[in-house]
Amino acid sequence: MDDGRPIFLQIAEGLESQILDGSLPVDSQVPSINALAQFHRINPATALKGVNLLVDVGLLVKRRGIGMFVAEGARETLLAQRRAEFQKLYVAPLVQQAKALGLSTQEVQDMTSKEMDR
C-alpha cells in the first residue's frame, strides 16, 4: 500500500485491474473483506469501503450469506469507462509533454504508430 491515494481507492482499483485483465472473470468470487484486510494489512472497514465502491457502480454483486461476485458485463463496463477516460488521463499529458519538448504532431503520430505496431 503506497501513500499515493486513499487506501480504499487502491483496493477498488486493484480489483478493477483484476477484472480487466481477466484474473477475476464474471461470476467468480472476490476475496472476502477480512481476507483483503489481512492481506493488505488494513482495517476491514477500509477494505469494505473499497469493495462497496465497486458494488455501488454495479461491478460487483453481493450474494447474501455467500460473498461478493463479479457482475455480468463488469469487464465491458470497465473497458468502456477506461476508454472514455483514456484521452484525458493518458493522451492529454502525453501531448503536453510532447509540446514541452517541441515535438511536432507528425513526430508524435509516428512514434504512436511505431508503439502500436510493436
Q: Which residues are at the interface with another protein (CB under 8 A)? A: 1, 3-8, 34, 37-38, 40-46, 48-49, 52
Is the CB of 99 or the CB of 109 nearer to another protein? 99
For residues 37 and 75, which CB has a smaller minimum distance to another protein in the complex?
Answer: 37
The least CB distance from residue 6 to another protein, in Å, is 6
Q: Which residue number, 28 or 96, has a Cβ lying nearer to another protein?
A: 96
Cβ contacts of 27 within 8 Å, gap of 6 or more: 69, 70, 72
DSSP assignment of 43-62: -HHHHHHHHHHHHHTTSEEE
Torsion over CA: 42, 39, 34, 12 (sign) = positive
